[in-house]
Amino acid sequence: MKSTPSKLLILVFFSSLCATIYAAHPMGSWEGAIEIPNNPLSINITLESTKGKHSGSIDIPAQGLRGFKLSNIKIEGKQVHFEMEGIPGDPRFEGTLADSGNTITGTFKQGGQTLGFSLERTSGEKKQETKTPDIPVKPIPGERMAGEWFGTLDVGPMKLRLALQVTESEANTFKAILESIDQGSAEIPVDQMDFKDRTLKFRIEKIQGSFLGKMNVDGSAIEGTWSQMGRDLPLTFNRMEKAFVLNRPQNPKPPFPYQNKEITFRNESADISLAGTFLIPEGSGPFPTVLFITGSGPQDRDESLMGHKPFLIIADYLARRGIASLRYDDRGVGKSEGKHMKSTVADFASDAEAGIAFLLAQAEVDANAIGIIGHSEGGLSGPIVASTNNAVDFLVLLAPPGEPLDQLLKRQAEDIFSLQGIEPSLINRLTKHQQHELELIKDSSIPRSELKQKLTELFATEKTKYTEAELKALKLDDATVKQSISTVSTPWFRSLMRKDPSNYLKTIQIPTLALFGEKDIQVAPEINAAGVKAALEEANNPDFEVTILQDLNHLFQHAETGSIEEYGTIEETFAPEALEHISNWIEKRFLKN
């Protein structure tokens, strides 16, 4: 459900975004995807070579890990190998450069999972464009080149915001730094710059890019062309009064009116230690306390994504209102032990159980007012824990699943395909075929080897019903399908497809708040809100609320489209009305006057 980082039903891999602005050898910038079943995970990669030494970086926009340095890069003829050292599951890519030099295809491996991946030098199917501010503020006039400049480069599926900082010496020589804001790129020194007769020329050897442009009459803009790897794209730099800074205004700043303790706690059943942050409000306790549970995918304690830290924002807000909290790194992430990719929903629920046990042992915690805040898949784990653990006194579920997960997966794919501009009739045909596949996947009586064979045969039959153009639009090539079949036939995926949240929600009789975003495309709000409501009614829960908040996406940001690609371009991390709603609801029931 949650993407990026916490995308339910979709394998999430840490990575980064680097298509450093874009070459017949593997060097250069590439766009493509790791072929996760029904929802490819977009990636951007840059490979460079300086004096025979290879370097590179990789980004996944939906995960917000930008500019991550690749390691162990090997180029042997057409074979390309690189790894992501330090990321859980030891992710690595093995690919082959096509004779044309325009594509790289191969396999991606992480934590025992093997998937296909493909890269192209040029953009593939055009996705829903995300709105990015072309100019953050009104350009200012000037005469010299020195100053702060801002431009937007349209590279197809996205717009890259560029910052250019120029200084000028008394000898009329220039020094400049270019930064690709949306790619999280480090500052890139400009090697050569010349400004004469209001014409600007500069070149950056590292990325084999150059710019040629003409300054306008009042000196507020330079309109020209960006050239790189044989491509010429229009680019205008506008003079800014000050440097552009990616803004996350809700991130709390010290001093803090609460205690901030770094702690660890044990999950004895798994024989691992988990690390987290325990926030204790000012004043005399004990305090009502919440335990945070992230969505799927390896997440840190703040549920960090694209520069946003939603759990940090919520915890800070609650602490200022007298509510304590514990948030922790998922197993295998940050300072927590364990192997995330080899774990299941049940394993994550057991981690939360261990967190509850830790809170019960703290003098600052009101043992009769312990709750769980779970986002996305965490909204499934929360009820799983509460259904058997009497120490849980309330639930706050943010974009939780309210329908069986096989149905949610089908609906999620439909919504994402629709937002990408795929024809409705084609989406309908695909999902009808997928329904049969899902029934096979859920059938526990079918051994894995037999299931893989059945799915392979089924695809071979279904493939003949699509044109080549349709298969390309849906990204259904043979290699991708083979890797998808390998993934969906695993015990993990098959057990997840058999999960029905109502089985747990129907047992919940403690106070429960479920919030949804009206523009959520990952967890359809109307359908899942209705499912949660019906299950809690069946439980005869005497105190619950299910509310859809207008104009908010899956991350509870005010959004225009709700698309995953939009998350990072929004400055807001978590809507104020959602923060207030959560806090007021808890205070009303558990905060002592």
State whether residue 198 is helix, strand or coil.
coil
Is the domain covering 258-404+501-590 a CATH 3.40.50.1820 domain? yes
pLDDT (tens digit per residue) in 194-220: 999 999 999 998 888 999 999 999 999
Residues 140-151 have a mean pLDDT of: 92
Write down the pLDDT at residue 214. Answer: 96
**C-beta atoms surrounding 456 within 10 Å:** 13
Q: Output the pTM of the full model.
A: 0.62
Strands annotated E in 363-505: 365-375, 394-398
Q: Is the pLDDT of residue 121 over 80?
A: no
In CATH, what is the architecture of 147-240?
Answer: Beta Barrel (2.40)
Predicted local confidence at residue 430, as pLDDT? 82
Q: CA-CA distances (angstroms) from residue 97 to 29, 80, 228? A: 13, 7, 20
Please count the other Cβ atoms lying within 10 Å of the Cβ belonging to residue 418. Answer: 14
The answer to whether residues 23 and 121 touch, using CB atoms and an 8 Å cutoff, is yes
- Is the predicted pLDDT of residue 293 greater than 80, yes or no? yes
- Outline which parts of the chain fall under CATH 2.40.128.120: 147-240
User: What does the pLDDT average to over 130-150?
Assistant: 77
**Residue 283 — very low, low, confident or very high, per pLDDT cuts 50/70/90?**
very high
List the one residue out of 37, 36, 112, 47 whose CA is nearest residue 73: 47
Higher-confidence residue: 71 or 564? Answer: 71
Q: Which tokens in the block code for residue 529?
A: 């809100």
pLDDT for residue 63: 65
Residues 6+ apart with CB under 8 A from 460: none
pLDDT of 17 above 50 = no
Whole-number mean pLDDT of the chain?
Answer: 85
Residue range 278-298: mean pLDDT, rounded: 92
- pLDDT per residue as tens digits for the range 445-489: 999 899 999 999 988 888 888 888 888 777 677 766 876 787 788
Lowest mean pLDDT among 29-43, 344-358, 416-430, 476-490: 476-490
Band of pLDDT at residue 153, cut at 50, 70 and 90: confident
Please say whether the beta carbons of 162 and 244 come within 8 A: no
DSSP string covering 433-461: HHHHHHHHHH-TTS-HHHHHHHHHHHHHH
**CATH code of domain 28-120:** 2.40.128
